[in-house]
Structure 1
Amino acid sequence: MGLSTVVRSLRVLEAVAEHQPVSVGELSKIFGLSESTMRRTLRALKVSGWLRADPLDATRWEIGAWVFGVRPTALRNTRLFPAARELMIRLRDAPDETVLLSVPDALNDMVVVDRVDCGHAVRPFHAIGDTSRQYATAPGRAVLAHLPVPEADGLVTGGLDDRGAPIATDAAELRAELRHIRDRGYAVDQNRHRPGVCAVAAPVLDHDGVPLAAVSVSVPEYRFGPVRLDALGQLVKDTGARITARHCN
């Protein structure tokens, strides 16, 4: 192929993201390179944190955690952060609960890119860069529910696995829930993704109405209940709409 080392490494990184978990042999065929050359490239990307061996099969490769750590820093230079930050603080102050901003990535995961902590001594903790399967959380479902139907359906059909999520999900049930979320304007996770933690999330949309992020309130289960749900849902929905308006202006 005649690729320089740097260009080859970037191309390999892109290929792993597209085909993961992927073997050395499969990557060698994609690039027309020897397996020994491919192993050297993979090892270099592993040492730098960009790739890692699949926890379920050490002969296959997948994207590493460094990808998710870099993304929040890069996003701080976009219009999303200044549009969202002040409104996230206002949302935090209303119920005094932790507020998160999460974005979808190319791997059909959600990545936490910003957080405003509440004043309670007991509160859920979400590290910047934390990832979760899109269908498994309130922010992810808020995003899925507002994608164009064919795109959302493709993700639901092709993305329901247990990697990174402690719950199994039925595709038909998820489609019905996504329709309900779209009608209501926000998604709810009641102690489903993380034990003892509940969340309410709403989408942030771009100029074309496509979701580019989700804003959410994360609450310990003992401070969450049906009476509080409606109020939190409306607050989160309004905040998502306000961030959308600021981002699009």
Structure 2
Amino acid sequence: MKNPPNYAIRSVDHALQLAVMLQVEGPLGVGEAAERLGVVPSTAHRLLAMLVYRDFAVQLEDRRYAAGPVLSLGASSLSHTSRLRAIAMPHLAALVERVRESANLVILAGDHVRFIGTVECAQALRVGNREGMVFPAHLASGGKVMLADLPPERLDLLYSAEKWADRPEQRPNLAALRRELRTTRERGFAINAGRTEAGVTAVGRAVRGADGTAQAAVSVSMPTTRFSRDLLPGLVGALAATARDIEAELRGAAM
């Protein structure tokens, strides 16, 4: 379970957010970085300069900044992730307007999920920005809907005892996980009730590519105090519509 530190260091948090933006979204200018972080341009410039110094960023000829050697993902991975996020973000915003809770876009990274996009809702008590964070896939709602789509042999490999030898206490029971994923496949969505973060409940649904396999997942996250089973039909319906809209736009972009 992941909880925020009691004493967050704002400058460190801003630098980490910038690093994630560069890695996932591509090049940024100083002004855009300042606007995204809610800081003055001089602060954004100092943060970017430090990222360059530590090889987390490089400055391009047009004076924008891009991911440096430490953050390099590989051209194809970066291109796909950036395109996916760019397409999904307006749809996440529409989802937030509809359900009045925060929404996320996640991808599978081994046995973890990585948050590549978040749109926060406007409620005072809300789940905040999760961009760049990673959680165990078998615990997260978006992770479970993507794991449910994997061939059995790949799931076995991901959760083999050998791969988890250095953290055996964290390895899930594979038989129980298979049962949970079978239920997820049957109903088409997954719930995470406080398994990754105390006091947070999330509902997730897969986003599928042209071949029908799960490429990512969208989720709605809310304080557990606002969640009830009566809300599920509306949340699942909104997630399904959002996933379909993203899928349709991804197909159009691939043509």
- The superposition leaves residues 18-77 of structure 1 with CA deviations (integer Å, 9 ceiling, x where unpaired) of xxxxxxxxxxxxxxxxxxxxxxxxxxxxx757xxxxxxxxxxxxxxxx649999x94587
Q: 2:234 aligns with which of 220, 228, 231?
A: 231
- Is the CA contact (8 Å cut-off) linking 2:119 and 2:129 kept in structure 1? no
- Is the CA contact (8 Å cut-off) linking 1:112 and 1:126 kept in structure 2? no
Shift of 1:162: 9.1
| One-letter amino acid of the counterpart of residue 113, structure 1 | I
Shift of 1:154: 2.8
Corresponding residue of 2:200: 197
- The superposition leaves residues 73-119 of structure 1 with CA deviations (integer Å, 9 ceiling, x where unpaired) of 945874312331221111111110000111112x4321111111101
Query: Kindly tell me: are residues 198 and 69 of structure 1, through their superposed partners in 2, closer, same or farther at Cα, counting changes over 3 Å?
Result: farther
Shift of 1:215: 0.6
- The gaps in structure 1 that reach 5 residues or longer are 1-46, 50-65
Alignment of 1:1-249 (within 5 A): 67=71, 74=78, 78-105=82-109, 107-157=110-160, 169-249=172-252
- Is the CA contact (8 Å cut-off) linking 1:190 and 1:197 kept in structure 2? yes
| One-letter amino acid of the counterpart of residue 101, structure 1 | L
| One-letter amino acid of the counterpart of residue 100, structure 1 | N
Query: Kindly tell me: are residues 68 and 94 of structure 1, through their superposed partners in 2, closer, same or farther at Cα, counting changes over 3 Å?
Result: farther
- The superposition leaves residues 184-211 of structure 1 with CA deviations (integer Å, 9 ceiling, x where unpaired) of 1111111222110000011111221222
Secondary structure at 1:135 match in 2: coil
Shift of 1:136: 1.9
* Backbone CA RMSD of aligned residues: 3.1
- Is the CA contact (8 Å cut-off) linking 2:120 and 2:129 kept in structure 1? no
Aligned residues between the structures = 184
CA distance in 2, matches of 1:170, 1:127: 27
The alignment's TM-score, normalised by the length of structure 1, stands at 0.64
- The superposition leaves residues 109-144 of structure 1 with CA deviations (integer Å, 9 ceiling, x where unpaired) of 211111111011111224321011211211111110
- Is the CA contact (8 Å cut-off) linking 1:201 and 1:237 kept in structure 2? no
- The superposition leaves residues 189-247 of structure 1 with CA deviations (integer Å, 9 ceiling, x where unpaired) of 11222110000011111221222211100110001011112221222133223212221
Secondary structure at 2:99 match in 1: coil
Query: Kindly tell me: are residues 184 and 221 of structure 1, through their superposed partners in 2, closer, same or farther at Cα, counting changes over 3 Å?
Result: same
| One-letter amino acid of the counterpart of residue 86, structure 1 | P
CA distance in 2, matches of 1:162, 1:94: 43
Corresponding residue of 2:47: none
The alignment's TM-score, normalised by the length of structure 2, stands at 0.63
Question: Aligned residues: percent identity?
Answer: 28
Shift of 1:153: 3.5
| One-letter amino acid of the counterpart of residue 211, structure 1 | A
| One-letter amino acid of the counterpart of residue 103, structure 1 | I
CA distance in 2, matches of 1:226, 1:136: 19
